[in-house]
């Protein structure tokens, strides 16, 4: 029963879901049924009813007389009230032909061509079905190692990662959900230094998140400033000794530069492995929150904590009832899922792992007027998650009493103290990023802080449209400090912390991501991790001027505080990569027979400005004529022939043509400044939102140099956007290890 043959009509008395305008846009783009011509043929409530009915039909696996209609209605109501939503593949595919409902998969890769290319094939099938894949490449022999069968030399794990990357790039061209990968390499693999540095070139492995698996042995060597063994996985022999601090420094440096690699504490994952006799955990899903055995999958779902607040207090009765229903829902998914491979079905049903988490935590804190960086926030995190974990455990026991324990239960670490207690699911809780489903639920993502209380979106006719956090708007109106002036300042500054127009009481708890120190991010992650079976997806945000030493302290704090892994992102860090700067074939604008166009003199004098962009350093040269008027503009970025280089050259040619035809710099600045792309750089007044914006800022700086004064009007033109989505142009945020658009649901990772 993978696809419902006859779904009855939605009862007229059912709750009609209230989706925001953004949520409706996302639903139409990615979730609702479409005709062959691409026309949407399903209403949002019909989608939820399709999902609820299909999942409820899983009851027939255990009770032929089950009241499917009653259970479907319960499932529908918690989704329609936006109290709980399952992961995206379930919303997209339940009750439809594809029927693949899981988001997370881990595939094994052994040290053989047969295993490697079998994994490539399996990856293709999983990505086609809407899932993401994780791999450990740690079993592949290192580069330049002997291949006995051919008397040749091994190319090493990094070369095979490129094969997977190319396959993913091809597959993701179609479909409603992109395939994403996690590549993990153990820190004791001989090729570890090459793995750590591979993304110094951002053109490589673009469909992979990278994480280094740190062992307890490595961490002990790091603490004592000692060496540890690098081991050839082909034969288990020690290749050489390596200094732990040297390796760790390289990990930290590269993470500071690009946000990758992340780290996972592999021995800590295995210490919590519920079925160690079945196998060891070697990898996680693409965002790192779901450790899985080889060929396992997991289906996730999240409870909206913003819907669990009444009159300034958490309604634990409602939360408990929602947790119980959600565990029931996710357990049914295990049985009705149409798995992409028989071996995945077998392994998944043997352990029946589910991953119930939360979203809207930052909203809950705002509603309770609690600062994210406070001790009270950490106490609330622990209180909420311990309740969710305990209730999910009890719900799993209750299901096991009716349906039986998961088949591998005898091989489990559970039940050792009291083997008479059955358990339906090997794991129950996971904190996922929830990038897209939090848009549908209208809440903050996962356990991340609010990224921005307000930001500006400039539409085609140059109107300014401000997006404002609804909780902030409600409280600001209620307390008489809401105004367009305040909203504009927040959008420009990225924070309300220093705005005197807002009473200090509110400034304290209306924290955005960059108001929060990295150690406070980590302590929230650790508070949730303490009561989460699997792991916690969380981005540790750093300001652009953060030091390498601060990143190092954060990594060590994550280990000391009990986290299972950590991902950091330094604002605008992607522009610090060492790129091969090649000269573009820049030339003056093509001569055109127009009487107002000035001829170029044989020599001109000008200045060159280095601008930091998300595509790398951009060098803008502006030459003036003998009257001191701007005459031409050249720019160089990245490799000649690249998209950024060609677009920037095109802008330079048009600007030059405009100047040689008599145009002044100011209108050009106003046209270009504030244009956003998905790779912004910098923070505050130094923020560069695109290559076009960088060129505009260079022109502005040059004009102010020539005039000898600052033009405040031109500085106000910069809208300080957070980067633009490549699909819809909306603002993107870095959360859970991915860039996510809260307008259309685009995600780099899914």
Residues 6+ apart with CB under 8 A from 339: 100, 102, 297, 345, 348
Of the residues 57, 260, 289, 649, only one is catalytic, namely: 289
Count Cβ neighbours within 10 Å for each residue of 558-588 and write b for 16 or more, e otherwise.
Answer: bbebebbbbbbbbbbbbbbbebeeeebebeb
- Measured CA distances, 289 to 239, 286, 533, 534, 749 (Å): 32, 8, 10, 7, 13
| Edge-to-edge strands, sheet with 616-624 | 605-613, 616-624, 630-637
CB burial string 44-77: b at 16+ within 10 A, e below: bbebbbbbbbbbbbbbeeeeeeeebeebbbebbb
Distance separating alpha carbons of residues 427 and 424, to the nearest angstrom: 9
Backbone angles phi, psi at 437, to 5 degrees: -70, -25
> What is residue 459's three-state secondary structure?
coil
425 within 8 A of 352, measured Cβ to Cβ:
yes
Nearest to 634 by CA among 624, 619, 612: 619
The CA distances from residue 691 to 37, 561, 663, 703, in Å, are: 37, 40, 21, 18
Structure tokens at 419: 């083997």
Which are the contacts of 401, defined by CB distance < 8 A and separation ≥ 6? 422
* Ranges assigned E (strand) in 383-525: 454-458, 464-468
**Within 678-734, where are the H helices?**
691-707, 712-716
> Which residues 6+ apart lie within 8 Å of 609 measured at CB?
619, 620, 621, 622, 698, 701, 702
Q: With 0-12 CB in 10 A as exposed, 13-18 as middle and 19+ as buried, what is 37?
A: exposed
514 Cβ contact list (under 8 Å, min separation 6): 494, 495, 541, 543, 571, 683
Among residues 22, 57, 287, 304, the one annotated as catalytic is 287
Cα angle vertex 92, ends 423, 348, to 5°?
30
Residue 8 exposed, middle or buried by CB count within 10 Å (0-12, 13-18, 19+): exposed
Q: How far apart are CA 47 and CA 30, in angstroms?
A: 12
Q: Does 493 qualify as catalytic in the annotation?
A: no
* Residue 285 known to be catalytic: yes
Which residues lie closer than 8 Å to 21 by C-beta, 6 or more apart? none
User: Nearest CA to 356 among 413, 395, 410?
Assistant: 395
Strands 738-741 and 732-735, by their bridges, are antiparallel
DSSP output for 422-439: --S-S--B-B---TTHHH
Q: Tokens standing for 617?
A: 């350093």
User: What DSSP state is assigned to residue 106?
Assistant: E
Whether 289 is catalytic is yes
Helix (H, G, I), strand (E, B) or coil at 492: helix
d(CA 529, CA 447): 11
Q: Which of 22, 181, 273, 285 is catalytic?
A: 285
Which residues are marked as active site?
Answer: 285, 287, 289
């Amino acid at each position: 029963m993978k696809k419902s043959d006859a779904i009855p009509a939605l009862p007229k008395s059912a709750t009609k879901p209230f989706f925001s305008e953004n949520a409706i846009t996302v639903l139409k783009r990615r979730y609702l049924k479409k005709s062959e011509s691409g026309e949407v043929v399903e209403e949002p409530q019909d989608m939820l009813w399709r999902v609820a009915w299909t999942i409820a039909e899983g009851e027939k696996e255990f009770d032929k007389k089950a009241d499917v209609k009653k259970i479907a209605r319960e499932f529908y109501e918690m989704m329609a009230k936006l109290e709980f939503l399952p992961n995206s593949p379930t919303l997209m595919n339940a009750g439809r032909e594809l029927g693949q409902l899981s988001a997370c998969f881990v595939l094994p890769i052994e040290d053989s061509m047969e295993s490697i290319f079998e994994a490539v094939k399996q990856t293709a099938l999983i990505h086609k079905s809407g899932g993401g894949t994780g791999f450990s490449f740690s079993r592949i022999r290192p580069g330049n190692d002997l291949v006995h069968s051919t008397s040749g030399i091994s190319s090493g794990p990094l070369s095979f990662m490129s094969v997977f990357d190319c396959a993913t790039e091809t597959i993701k061209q179609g479909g409603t959900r992109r395939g994403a990968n996690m590549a993990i390499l153990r820190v004791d693999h001989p090729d570890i230094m090459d793995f750590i540095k591979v993304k110094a070139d951002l053109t490589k492995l673009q469909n992979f998140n990278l994480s280094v698996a740190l062992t307890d042995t490595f961490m002990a060597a790091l603490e004592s400033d000692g060496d540890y063994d690098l081991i050839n996985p082909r034969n288990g022999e020690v290749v050489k000794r390596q200094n732990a601090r040297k390796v760790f420094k390289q990990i930290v440096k590269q993470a500071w530069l690009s946000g990758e690699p992340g780290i996972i504490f592999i021995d800590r994952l295995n210490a919590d492995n519920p079925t160690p006799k079945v196998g060891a955990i070697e990898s996680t899903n693409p965002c790192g929150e779901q450790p899985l055995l080889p060929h396992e999958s997991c289906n996730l779902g999240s409870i909206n904590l913003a819907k669990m607040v009444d009159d300034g207090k958490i309604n634990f009765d409602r939360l408990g009832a929602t947790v119980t229903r959600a565990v029931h829902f996710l357990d049914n998914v295990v049985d009705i899922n149409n798995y992409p491979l028989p071996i995945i079905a077998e392994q998944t049903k043997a352990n029946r792992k589910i991953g119930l988490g939360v979203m809207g935590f930052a909203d809950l804190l705002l509603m309770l007027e609690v600062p994210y960086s406070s001790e009270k926030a950490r106490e609330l995190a622990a209180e909420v998650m311990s309740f969710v974990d305990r209730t999910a455990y009890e719900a799993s026991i209750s299901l096991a009493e009716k349906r039986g324990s998961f088949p591998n239960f005898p091989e489990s670490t559970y039940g050792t103290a009291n083997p008479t207690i059955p358990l339906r699911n090997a794991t129950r809780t996971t904190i996922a990023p929830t990038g897209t489903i939090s848009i549908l639920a209208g809440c903050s993502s996962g356990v991340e802080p609010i990224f921005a209380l307000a930001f500006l979106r400039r539409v085609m006719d140059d109107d300014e449209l401000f997006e404002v956090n609804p909780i902030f708007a409600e409280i600001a109106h209620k307390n008489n400090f809401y105004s367009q002036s305040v909203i504009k300042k927040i959008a420009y500054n990225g924070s309300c912390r220093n705005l005197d127009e807002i009473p200090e009481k509110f400034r304290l708890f209306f924290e955005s991501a960059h108001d929060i120190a990295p150690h406070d991010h980590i302590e929230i992650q650790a508070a949730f991790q303490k009561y989460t079976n699997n792991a916690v997806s969380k981005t540790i945000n750093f300001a652009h001027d953060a030091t390498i030493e601060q990143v190092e302290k954060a990594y060590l704090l994550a280990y000391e505080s009990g986290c299972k892994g950590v991902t950091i992102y330094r604002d605008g860090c992607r522009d610090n990569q060492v790129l091969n700067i090649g000269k573009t074939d820049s030339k003056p604008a093509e001569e055109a027979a127009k009487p107002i166009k000035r001829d170029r003199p044989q020599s001109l004098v000008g200045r060159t400005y280095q601008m930091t962009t998300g595509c790398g350093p951009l060098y803008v040269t502006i030459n003036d004529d003998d009257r001191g008027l701007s005459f031409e503009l050249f720019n160089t970025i990245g490799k000649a022939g690249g998209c950024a280089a060609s677009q920037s050259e095109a802008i330079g040619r048009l600007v030059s043509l405009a100047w040689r035809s008599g145009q002044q710099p100011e209108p050009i600045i106003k046209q270009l400044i504030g244009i956003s792309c998905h790779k912004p750089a910098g923070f505050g007044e130094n923020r560069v939102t695109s290559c076009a914006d960088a060129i505009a800022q260079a022109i502005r700086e040059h004009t102010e140099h020539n005039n000898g004064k600052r033009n405040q009007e031109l500085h106000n033109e910069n809208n300080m956007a957070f980067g633009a989505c490549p699909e819809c142009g909306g603002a993107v945020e870095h959360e859970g290890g991915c860039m996510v658009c809260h307008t259309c649901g685009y995600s780099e990772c899914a």
